Amino acid sequence: MRSRKALVRRPGPRLAEGLVTHIDRTPVDADRALAQWRSYVAALELHGWETAEVEPADDCPDAVFVEDTVVMYKNVALVTRPGADSRKPETRGTEAAVSLMRCSVNRVHAPGTLDGGDVLKVGDTIYVGLGGRTNTDGVRQLRACFEPLGARVVTVPVTRVLHLKSGITALPDGTFATHAGLIDTPELFPGRIEVPEAAGAHVILLGGGALLMAASAPQTAALYEELGYTPVPVDISEFEKLEGSVTCLSVRMRGLYA
């Protein structure tokens, strides 16, 4: 059986200092963020996901966005080297967590940089955003790690959003969901739909047609219902102030054997 495990990391005391790149900074309520994070984790667990907490990294304001620290393909973990220097120490705890699981652990080395939020997997195709946080050498190292395992790596330029998955994700049937103007080269994603809200382009496949998504995209939730899916909205407004989304708050580990 394939696993349904997810790594998460609780927000730290310096969350409000997190990086912002494409939006204006607004105040973050740390207490509300913690409550929202707990609700997010509860939603995963309610839908059959076993969550494991990565050790805190309280000196790293962005550490709650744990997805950026590792990329999983099948049973292989590629520990990243984040593009922002302030985020590089975050990977130590993630590496310790994946090392306890039955997977092979690899690492991105300098001069490569890679953020997990730039990696979108659809079947055996891995789309990698090349832009502000992920560089050419990071893509090269990801390719070297995963192509021998059967992956096909497609490089996608990213200039309009923080990460590739800030602008596009995929539905259970392989249809891509995006919002107008977020992706530089939409032609690389055939079979896509444009959703009415930017936050609606971010979904996590929970299984059984259930889609974890931000509560800030009610029109998109209605659209997904019309398509036969079951939206599971969660309030992540405090993390959205830091360009966060539902995808970056966890690492879904589907390729491990339970």
Choose the catalytic residue: 145, 163, 179, 202. Answer: 163
Q: Prior bond to 172 cis, omega within 30? A: no
Choose the catalytic residue: 60, 103, 145, 248. Answer: 248
Distance CA 91, CA 75 (A): 18
Distance CA 67, CA 133 (A): 13
The letter for the amino acid at 18 is G
Q: Give how far Cα 88 sits from Cα of 9, 59, 81, 165, 233, Å.
A: 15, 11, 6, 20, 31
Distance CA 91, CA 167 (A): 24
Q: Tokens 């997810």 belong to which residue?
A: 6
Check if 145 is active-site. Answer: no
Residues labelled as active-site residues:
163, 248
